[in-house]
Copies of this chain bind each other. A is one copy, B any other.
Amino acid sequence: MREIRQPGSYSYVFGRYCEPIATVEPGEVVAIYTEDAFEGRITSESTLPSRVLGEYLNPQTGPIFISGAEPGDTLAVRIHEIEFTRDWAVSCFIPSFGGLTSTKLTPTLQPPLPERVWVYRRQPDGSFSYDPSKFSIQPTPFLGTVGTAPDLEALSALTPFTHGGNMDVPDVRPGNTVYLPVTVPGAYFSTGDCHAAQGEGELCGVALEISARVTLSFDVIKGRKIAWPRIESPEEIMTVGSARPMEDAARIANTELILWLESEYGFDRWDAYQLLTQAGKLYVGNMVDTYYSLVAKVSKRYLGGSVSTAPSS
């Protein structure tokens, strides 16, 4: 299997302005190495973020040019496996960042929360813990960041938006397929920010950050245009909306899910609105990034005899 590592410095934006680091054919399975959100700089409880972090966060491996992907297509990203490349993960409290503090976008005159680093070490049972007498977390790895290039903008790797990006949605995990809009030739796919685990909302803003080897393959769905990221698991279809205020993210995710039910599952619009009202799920991926990400989902059991949207590879 081909292995892809960032050849020089990591990318900190999603955009068409960086040179691709590799070209991948549809259907080819590749292993991509990703650094943690801090580029490995926080290694102990005493390496405070304010002292060791560089100017930018969330290094991305990429962009990767996907052969045959053209504007107006959809890129299907199949996540086969995520393997940690170290036996510890790190979380921390970063001043003026997180869900229960004032931030640069929600400023107040109050003093910041204390800065603090938490190193979670792998335990004999496979869980992660900074103090097993307190609590341990079983790993449920996923990719905090997957995305294509926006057509015009270069967006920070900390931002989730229509192109995917830093959604911090736990359903971006092995076994699932992420669908992303293609707006530049070659799609310019990047990924990074692997989380060993994360709660819904990513409350303090920093999950169990870890480096990883990620096994992926890609398909290009020609001529299928989507406006926002979608996810498919064996049991569910899901859409992700990223916006502020949070209700706008909820509106986007649900609107997109209705459009999906209409366009590919034969639903009438109002039947779809009813179905989601009575059987939809709606959870918060992150409440901390530059835009909040919400996930709307519905079980495939309600989708009748409809065929999967997944193209045969």
* A contacts, CB < 8 Å to B: 12-13, 15, 17, 55-56, 91, 93, 99-102, 104-114, 116, 118, 130, 134-135, 137, 151-156, 197-208, 227, 243-248, 250-252, 254-255, 258, 269-271, 273-284, 287, 292, 294, 296, 302, 304
Contact = CB atoms under 8 A, between A and B. Distances in A.
Given A109-B269, A153-B154, 11 more contacts: A91-B277, A105-B248, A106-B106, A106-B248, A108-B251, A198-B277, A201-B277, A205-B277, A282-B283, A282-B287, A284-B294
A107 B245 contact: no
Nearest to A157: B152
A153 B156 contact: yes
Given A13-B153, A109-B269, A110-B110, A274 B204 contact: yes
A269 B114 CA distance: 12
Nearest to A137: B278
A251 B207 contact: no
B251 A106 contact: yes
7 contacts: A99-B251, A108-B255, A134-B271, A137-B278, A137-B279, A200-B281, A246-B246
Copy count, this protein chain: 4
Contact of A118 (B17, B208, B248, B274): B274
A254 B288 CA distance: 13
B247 A245 contact: yes
A202 B277 CA distance: 5
Contacts of A13: 152-153
Contact of A101 (B110, B252, B280): B110
Nearest to A109: B100
Given A109-B269, A270-B93, A283-B283, A276 B153 contact: no
A107 B277 contact: no
